[in-house]
Amino acid sequence: MGKKSSSSSSSSDSDEKAQAPKGEVQPKGVETNADQRRGGDGGQGGRQRVDSSRPEVKGETDDIEAYKKRKIADLEALGRAGGVYIPPFKLARLQEEIEDKTSPEYQRQTWEALRKSINGLVNKVNTGNIKNLVEELFQENLVRGRGLFVRALVRAQMASPGFTHVFAALVAVINSKLPEVGDLLIRRVILQFRRAYKRNDKIVTTAAIKFMAHLVNQKVVSELLALHIATLLLERVTDDSIEVCVAFMQEVGLALQELSGAGSLAIFERFRNILHEGEIDRRVQYVIEGLFEVRRKKFADYPAVVEELDLVAEEDQITHEVDLLDENIKGDEIINIFKAIPPEQYAGDEAKWKLISAEILGIEQDDDGSGSSDDSDDEETAAADARAQQKILDFTEQDLVNLRRSIYLVIMSSVHFEECVHKILKLNIAEGQEKEVCTMLIDCCAMEKMFNRFFALQAERLCRLNPAYQENFLEAFEVQFNTVHRLETNKLRNIGKFFSHLLYTDALPWSLMHQIRITEETTTSSSRIFIKVIFQELSEQWGVKKLVARLKDEEQQQFFTGLFPRDHPKNIRFAINYFTAIGLGVLTEDLRSYLEQAQSQQAAAGRAQAAEESSSESSSSSDSDSSDSDDSSDSSDTDDSDDSSDSS
């Protein structure tokens, strides 16, 4: 009997194994039906059956819930390489059945979903979809999964070095919002470079320094790191180190020239010395010569940042300072591994990330979910109408800055003045903004070391094509003359020749001369130099005879009253002495004759006044003499009458 019972129990075990689904891993701690039959009342459980009609008690429900959790945990513990395949729908169903959204099992599930999502997004990124993928990445918890994100980036870059510039652009965007992610990536890439350099692993070293080169181009890391890497590679000269350094300088050379010209020059000088020493292989010498050819072409084939990947504004860029040989650099590999945290902390971290993600993506959080859909629709409609009617006032004048930049680029990129004028007219400058073109032409002309007629020819052509430019250049002349004391001598001369060109080509009317008044009180040393440059340039282009004829034009005399003042002899003498000192005394002949006439008239008037005064004095003296004679005669007559009276 004993043998028979044992055989029956073994047969029942085999039946249970046969009925179990294939490949399903039975979790520990959960009894099978066979175990339940074997357990129980003193070995008699083989004949007992569970009544399925009886209601489940609370303990059994808890056991089933615990079984589900252990099932998921065991499946995840098996990893990607082993275990039983579970269809996605079944895995999702198991996840939904977990009621506690902060339990360790649920945390592990979200961790795996985060890892898969990050890997998928990083592997899909390219130049065309990077903007969209960045938004999707910011929807994932990059604070919790920063280790996963950095690991995925490093692996993807190592597998596809041709997309390094795309990965660097992605890092630049993430780094502008989450600097700790960029710092972690830099530290891990540096450690990867160190290990590969010590092992003489050329492939990994080349990939690592290419990544760092593009991080320098995107200003995620300081250019000092690039200089340190180049110096380290050129410290012990070998064929491989030279090749790696050449590849590095091709990628980062343009950025180094802009950010650290002296450092870039020192690196290329070191290459030149190595080339002259001739201790390296001929093939490597050709590689160095190729680098110098790339430099001669100004890195035309190796731009620092292509336009499609220039995604971060300069004011938003965050640049990290990291020492290449710092012994305290750590890769924090531990954060790549899942670690359950207390439920309260997990819930708080998730809530914080939702706020951060919403702030980055510009999503407004809706605090109260109440309210009818009709009300929300009405509010959205009203908000849309308000936005449509709202007028945005740009106090930053960004549009004006962009216009000035466009004008400057057009002016400086043109070979001939006619080409430049054509490009300026194609800019479709709005009415009232012609002043910006005039100001930019004057500023560009002033910045030259010597006067360049290129800018004056553009101004002349614009004045002839559009009267608005002529009016703005007249206003610009007034502004320049009133503020000429602020300019350096070289700028002052260039601007003076600029306006003299517009005068002798008749692009500007001579009415602008009414702003000039040559007196000792109204001029400064700078304004006198400015006027001298204008008139000397006019006499050189026209000749003195034509200049004199223009200044004697009867129709223009009203504009020259300040040039040749006649209000006071002091001012007349000052103007005569000024033009004589600059070698144009012939212009003051009329003024000299006027001064002589004025002086002669003044002398004649003085003589007439003196004669009048002398005649008045003589008449007064004669009158006094006649009165004295009358008095004497009267007195004699009185004496005679007295004598006759006495004799009688």
DSSP code, position 485: G
R_g (Cα) of the chain, nearest Å: 49
Confidence class for position 453, pLDDT limits 50, 70, 90: very high
Q: What is the pLDDT of residue 384?
A: 52
pLDDT at residue 617, rounded to an integer: 65
Regarding predicted confidence, which is higher, 67 or 475?
Answer: 475
Residue-averaged pLDDT of the chain: 80
Return the ∠ at Cα 231 (arms to 226 and 237), rounded to 5°.
135
Q: Is the pLDDT of residue 298 over 50?
A: yes
Q: What is the pLDDT of residue 392?
A: 53
Q: How far is CA 501 from CA 180, 475, 506, 538, 579, in A?
A: 59, 16, 8, 8, 20
pLDDT-based confidence at residue 70 (cuts at 50, 70, 90): low
**647 CB contacts (<8 Å, ≥6 apart)?**
none
Residue 404 has pLDDT above 80, yes or no: yes
CA distance 431 to 496: 27
Per-residue confidence (pLDDT) for residue 69, from 0 to 100: 63
For residue 365, pLDDT beyond 60: no
Which range, 19-28, 226-235, 634-643, has the best average confidence (pLDDT)? 226-235
Query: Considering Cα of 76, then 93, then 151, then 203, what sign does the dihedral take?
Result: positive
Q: Report which DSSP code applies to 221.
A: B
Q: Specify the pLDDT at position 277.
A: 87
Q: What is the pLDDT of residue 477?
A: 93
**Six token digits for residue 575:** 């103007």
Min mean pLDDT across 44-53, 320-329, 405-414 is at 44-53
User: What gap in Å lies between CA 548 and CA 160, rounded to an integer?
Assistant: 77
Given a cut of 80, is residue 302 above it in pLDDT? Answer: yes
For 27, counting Cβ atoms within 10 Å of its Cβ (0-12 exposed, 13-18 middle, 19+ buried), the class is middle
| SS3 state of residue 320 | strand
- State which of 288-292, 401-405, 612-616 shows the largest mean pLDDT: 288-292
Asked whether 476 and 445 are in contact (CB, 8 A), the reply is no
What pLDDT digit, counting tens, does each position of 544-573 carry?
899 998 888 888 888 888 888 888 888 889
Mean pLDDT confidence for 396-403: 78
Q: Which domains, and CATH codes, for the chain?
A: 126-335 (1.25.40.180), 398-515+523-545 (1.25.40.180)
* Res 88: pLDDT: 73
Q: Directed axis angle between helix 453-465 and helix 434-447, to 10°?
A: 160
Q: According to the model, what pLDDT value does residue 631 have? A: 52
- The b-or-e profile of 529-551 (16+ CB within 10 A means b, else e) is bbbbbbbbbbbeeeeeeebbeeb
Per-residue pLDDT band for 210 (boundaries 50, 70, 90) equals: very high
- Contact indicator for 210, 248 with CB cutoff of 8 Å: yes
Q: Which residues contact 565 (CB under 8 A, 6 or more apart)?
A: 517, 518, 519, 571, 572, 575
